[in-house]
Chains A and B, each alone.
Chain A
Amino acid sequence: GAVVSQHPSWVICKSGTSVKIECRSLDFQATTMFWYRQFPKQSLMLMATSNEGSKATYEQGVEKDKFLINHASLTLSTLTVTSAHPEDSSFYICSARDIGQGEYGYTFGSGTRLTVV
């Protein structure tokens, strides 16, 4: 089946530094990738949708200058948290969509736990 690899699985960084999270579709081409964030006891909240070769679409309230998304190829999307602060500590997870599978085409990575100290 479809596999999405997300790295790193956890990261601790100092306040003010930037952190990059990678999301790769291993055996299919993902024209669209999604980035979610989950705070404790909350649901997965969509942050942005990225389409290969074009600018990401951010959800309301998500700072595009803080959360930089790059989707340069059909198998790789990256999320960079710039100038991270403790309030950015959260669980981030990506999803890649294989459009050829219709509604069955959403495959998730295993997530990244970010802690900013």
Chain B
Amino acid sequence: ILNVEQSPQSLHVQEGDSTNFTCSFPSSNFYALHWYRWETAKSPEALFVMTLNGDEKKKGRISATLNTKEGYSYLYIKGSQPEDSATYLCASSGYSTLTFGKGTMLLVSP
């Protein structure tokens, strides 16, 4: 059974601040690491899928890194905006199933 941990549980920042979250996962039997952005009453939206150690992906102001040897991934948001407010989920996949962390709830105040 995979155990995926995310920290912090919640975060409140001011508009313009940069922030980052952590996702840790078992490094054995690793296949892929997924990041999702989840707004209330909507479907989780896929942000990144990462598979290679040292991988770094970027989408606008959001980027993510992956360390498969030590079992962690960071998600960075540069210059946070109120519309970035959401819960950010990470999930580790083995074969076809995803194992999720509890998420980091981000609130960005204007």
Binding site for B on A (CB under 8 A): 4, 6, 9, 32, 34, 36, 41-46, 49, 95, 97, 103-104, 106-111
Give 5 A-B contacts (CB < 8 Å), ordered by A residue: A95-B98, A103-B93, A106-B34, A109-B43, A110-B43
Assess whether A108 is in contact with B44, with CB atoms less than 8 Å apart.
yes
B88 to chain A: closest CB distance in Å?
13
Q: Which residues of B contact A42 (CB under 8 A)?
A: 102
Tell me if A49 and B96 are in contact (CB < 8 A): yes
Q: Which of A43, A103, A110 contacts B34 (CB 8 A)?
A: A103
Chain B CB count within 10 A is highest, among A4, A34, A110, for A110
- Chain B interface residue number, banded: 20 to 34
Select which of A34, A41, A107, A109 is within 8 A of B97 by beta carbon: A34
Q: Is A104 a contact of B41 with CB atoms below 8 Å?
A: no
B81 within 8 A of A: no
- Given A4-B43, A106-B34, A107-B43, A43 contacting B100 (CB threshold 8 A): yes
Residues of B74-110 contacting chain A, CB below 8 A: 89, 91, 93, 96-103
Chain A residues within 8 Å of B93, by CB: 103
Residue of A nearest to B42 (CB): A110
Q: Are B43 and A49 in touch, CB under 8 angstroms? A: no
Chain A residues with Cβ below 8 Å from B99 are 46
User: Does B13 touch A at the CB level, under 8 Å?
Assistant: no
Closest 7 CB pairs of A and B: A44-B100, A43-B100, A43-B102, A103-B32, A108-B43, A110-B43, A108-B44
